[in-house]
């Protein structure tokens, strides 16, 4: 049985004061929860998150990472730096990184490898645009994004990674993929990995992301291949985030 994971992606939101209030609420609400919980703040707040969450069961991660280990890469952050701030996870290939910052499948695969090399758990985000869905290309797009990583790192790498299916049309739009639509794609992802290694595929956590709210979380998380959620907007509101964590219980 795969343990569910609920991860909050704060995107470019927060302040020292807001974060402290949110983290204290989350930390105080963990007893009785059986799922894993993580938060992914912007880089400058990792130190704050590390000190507030020290000793709690809540883990944390970053929203991106450089594919390079060190060097003259102004503005970039290395995986080793994230480790120093206690990160367990790092998102790679979020659709906003792909669409707004030009990250290709190959760059995402390189980031995945750099993160894993140093012991971080990459959360590989995949997902199709509305145009791609309407053109019947959903499975092909998601498989292509996944295959870039499989080709570079091998299927064994998936034993210590997480995949997040985030249909681009559902992110921040209030339009959620229906549980059936999401399950369909999650099954495609698991089958792609399963074609290479059934044991790894069965152990792989595949999160759903895109307008997850307290109202729709239970039904989504009840699907056979949905192992939790990657939460954007609702992760900034303590009551909502905690209700979503409860739904994963």
- Which residues of this chain interact with ligand 13P, rule CB under 6 A? 9, 94, 166, 171-172, 209-212, 230-234
Is residue 68 part of the annotated active site? The answer reads no
Please give the residue whose beta carbon sits closest to ligand 13P in the complex.
232
Is residue 184 part of the annotated active site? The answer reads no
Residue 203, CB-side half-sphere exposure with 13 Å CA sphere: 11
Residue 130 or 196: the one with the smaller Cβ distance to ligand 13P is 130
* Degrees to nearest 5, angle at CA 61 with 57 and 59: 0
From the candidates 67, 103, 166, 186, give the one annotated as an active-site residue: 166
Neighbours of 242 (CB within 10 A): 20
From the candidates 67, 94, 103, 128, give the one annotated as an active-site residue: 94
The SS3 call for residue 6 is strand
Residue 59 or 200: the one with the smaller Cβ distance to ligand 13P is 59
The SS3 call for residue 123 is strand
Rounded Cα distance, 124 and 209, in Å: 12
Calculate the CA dihedral of residues 201, 40, 109, 75 and round it to 10 degrees: -170
Q: How far is the CB of 23 from ligand 13P (least distance, A)?
A: 18
Residue 8 or 82: the one with the smaller Cβ distance to ligand 13P is 8
- Helices vs strands, H then E, count in the chain: 11, 8
Residue 85 or 169: the one with the smaller Cβ distance to ligand 13P is 169
Q: How far is the CB of 168 from ligand 13P (least distance, A)?
A: 9
Q: How far is the CB of 235 from ligand 13P (least distance, A)?
A: 7
**Active site members:** 94, 166
């Amino acid at each position: 049985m795969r343990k569910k994971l609920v991860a909050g992606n704060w995107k470019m939101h927060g302040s020292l004061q807001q974060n402290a209030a949110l983290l204290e609420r989350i930390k105080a609400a963990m007893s009785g929860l059986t799922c894993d919980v993580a938060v992914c703040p912007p880089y400058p707040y990792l130190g704050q998150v590390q000190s507030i969450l020290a000793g709690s069961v809540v883990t944390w991660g970053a929203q991106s990472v450089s594919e390079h280990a060190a060097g003259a890469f102004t503005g970039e952050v290395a995986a080793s730096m994230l480790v120093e701030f206690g990160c367990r996870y790092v998102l790679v290939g979020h659709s906003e990184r792909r669409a707004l910052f030009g990250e290709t499948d190959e760059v995402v695969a390189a980031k995945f490898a750099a993160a894993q090399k140093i012991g971080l758990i990459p959360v590989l985000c995949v997902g199709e645009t509305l145009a791609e869905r309407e053109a019947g290309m959903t499975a092909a797009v998601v498989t292509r994004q996944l295959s870039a990583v499989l080709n570079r790192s091998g299927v064994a790498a998936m034993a210590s990674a997480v995949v997040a299916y985030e249909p681009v049309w559902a992110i921040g739009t209030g339009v959620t993929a229906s549980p059936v639509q999401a399950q369909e794609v999650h099954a495609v992802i698991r089958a792609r990995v399963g074609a290479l290694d059934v044991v790894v595929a069965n152990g792989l956590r595949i999160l759903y992301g895109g307008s997850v709210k307290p109202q729709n979380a239970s039904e989504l998380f009840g699907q056979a291949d949905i192992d939790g959620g990657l939460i954007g907007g609702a992760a900034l509101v303590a009551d909502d985030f905690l209700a979503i964590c409860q739904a994963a219980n």
